[in-house]
Structure 1
Amino acid sequence: MNHSFVPTIRQLRAFVAVYQSGRLGTAAQRLFVTQSAVSMLLRQLEDGLDTRLFDRTTRSLQPTAAATDMLPTAERILRDVDALAGGFRDLATLERGRVAVAITPTLAGFLLPEAVRRFGESHPGVRVVVDDCAPDQFVARVLGEHVDFGLGTPERPGADIETAPLLRDHLAFVCRRDHPLASRRSIRWTDLAGQPVITSRGGYGVRQTVDVTAARAGVALEVANEVSFLSTALWMTASGLGPSVMPSAFARAGGDADLAVIPLSAPRVSRDISVVTRRGRSLSAASRSFIEVLRAQWDQAD
């Protein structure tokens, strides 16, 4: 026996088909190959094992004792191979799988609910796992491969991650309809002078962008309330505690008809909410499909 010989899957399939049918022609039909191909595969297998597996008669092939001993192992190997292939097919066709996403709670609140619902209806066998992390943990979750990808706006992207824009957002002034500025089509940053506003606290979300932009516009921003989550700022504004500064997409997603969402201009500050991946890592079919659902959702919204 050639001790370096390893049977191929094709050889094992030919062996099992011939053992079960007893005929080369029948085995060839089952495997969708020619009779000569089956004969060659058997000969290669016997030569490699240095063992006769079938005794040839004029009408059929009779398995030897070695073939009978080998059959259970060959069948088990083929079952495992078929199960493995079936598993990959299920993953590729989204019959099963997992999508893990890193996202801040603020973004998750308006970005994911509809997408998760739509994706779940189309692919009930795929589990969506949401890692709702703090802004300063976001990039680390992606780089550490705790998730498949992230959704957000990395403050310091770095060379180890890649970003693909999902939607473009801009900062807005949000107020009740009875506010003196509510009828404006746009509001300049200089209009915020002396205007108490609600925004995120230092180190959270868009606060750094708000402070830098106000300073460049020559405005000493008067912050009446600082919050950790923009959802808090939104209900505070709706309750009459004062206007707020936040991304327009989040404010509009709240769907409160009593609130006006007015773009801030001079300068107009845009930011991309992106799909964030570790550089060099490929996304699974399930992850790509989930991102397609997200893109379709926001294309419709636009």
Structure 2
Amino acid sequence: MKSAVNMRHLRAFIAVAREGSFTRAAEHLLLSQSALTVTIRQLEEQLGVSLFNRTTRQVILTADGENFLSSAEEVVDKFDEAIIGVRQSAAQRGGQVSIAVLPSIAIRLLPEIVQGFHDAHPDIRVTLRDDNGRGVHRQVLDRDVDFGVSNMWHPYPELEFTPLTTDRFGLVCRRDDPLAKIDSPLNWTMIDEERLFVMAGDTGVYKALQESDEFTERFQTPAGEVLAMVTLLEMVRAGLGVTVVPQLARPAANEPDLIFRRLSNPVLIRKICLIRRRNEALSPGARRAWDAIRAQVPREVDI
């Protein structure tokens, strides 16, 4: 049978034992004497023993009360220590927030947000840990970070995904490439599979492309795969072919050799989410950072 004894009963018992008086114990606990008397009676009924010998002049512990007192004090002390420890840990973590994030998100979306957040909360330090899609998920799963920002690598049941924004795919090619000179909107049928380089299967970009049946059916054997975005763009810059990337991963606007153009038919997007462990509360600082990112990132990336 589950016991109905709780911390309220134990604190009341300890107060009466220490004060030797229901009146003084009630004052200490900020209770009425009648409420305290009822609480002690409930405790005694649950334990099946009398804890105090009551006289008109004093309240004295019985033998059972003496035996129970040290155990009750130990339970209350450990409970209070646990509460203090949790609060101190939350306060410490509240001043340090770690976020796992895709490199393209870290570069394109977060610098201004992090700077604004620092200005508004100078006591909270934000650390960005850039990684590929698999790595972001793993860091969140392993509790190495407070939360992550990425597209869905795998629908882990331990993780909760909150939609943040969408990121449309486009073509990256050299400025002197024939595709760059086409005035009409570009579509996927214009891309030669033998010239297409893509991100490797261990990346979030590749995972997002694989969600499209049109892509997987048309581009079964691309010219090559690479793991790092910088390597991919260098291969295009060298004239080896073209590539497709989300807008956030596009070359810089002042890039002299490369251009980015959106692709249609079909429009492929990468869905970016905020990622956290399911049913686990964020620290106060992490919650503020989460809310700031969610409020300031546009629902759709536009260029």
Query: In which range does the TM-score fall when normalised by the shorter chain?
Result: 0.5 to 0.7
Counterpart Cα distance in 1 of 2:236 and 2:267: 22
Equivalent in the alignment of 1:81: 79
Query: 1:14 corresponds to which residue?
Result: 12
Alignment of 1:57-206 (within 5 A): 57-58=56-57, 60-63=58-61, 67=65, 70-87=68-85, 89=87, 95-96=92-93, 110=107, 135=134, 146=142, 151-154=149-152, 163-175=161-173, 181=180, 186-193=185-192, 196-201=195-200, 205-206=204-205
Letter of the structure 2 residue corresponding to residue 34 of structure 1 = S
After TM superposition, give the deviation of residue 273 of structure 1 in Å: 2.2
CA distance in 2 between partners of 1:160 and 1:27 (Å) = 47
Write out per-residue CA displacement over residues 18-72 of structure 1, whole angstroms, 9 at most, x where no aligned residue. Answer: 23334333322332321111122233334535234354344x5455666555433
- 1:248: which partner in 2? 247
Aligned residue number for residue 298 of structure 1:
297
User: How far does residue 167 in structure 1 lie from its aligned partner after superposition?
Assistant: 1.5
- CA shift, 1:9, in A, is 1.8
Letter in 1 for 2:172: V
Q: Matched residue of 1:299: which SS?
A: coil
Change (3 A) 1:193 1:50: closer
Give the counterpart letter for 1:247 in structure 2: P
Q: Which runs of 5+ in 2 are unaligned?
A: none
TM-score by length of 1: 0.64
Provide the C-alpha distance between the structure 2 equivalents of 1:296 and 1:182, rounded to a whole number of angstroms. 38
| Partners of 1:172 and 1:261 within 8 A in 2 | yes
Aligned CA distance change for structure 1 residues 238 and 99 (closer, same or farther; 3 Å) = same
Partner of 2:254: 257
**How many residues are matched?**
286
Counterparts in 2 of 1:50 and 1:160: CA distance versus 1, 3 Å: closer
Provide the aligned C-alpha RMSD in A.
Answer: 5.2
Relative distance call for 1:185 and 1:67 in structure 2 (3 A) is: farther
Q: Which residue of 2 aligns with 1:51?
A: 50
State how far apart, in whole Å, the 1-side matches of 2:188 and 2:114 are. 36
- TM-score normalised by L of structure 2: 0.64
Which amino acid is 2:19 matched to?
Answer: S
Q: Which residue of 2 aligns with 1:267?
A: 266
Stretch of structure 1 that moved more, 229-238 or 93-102: 93-102
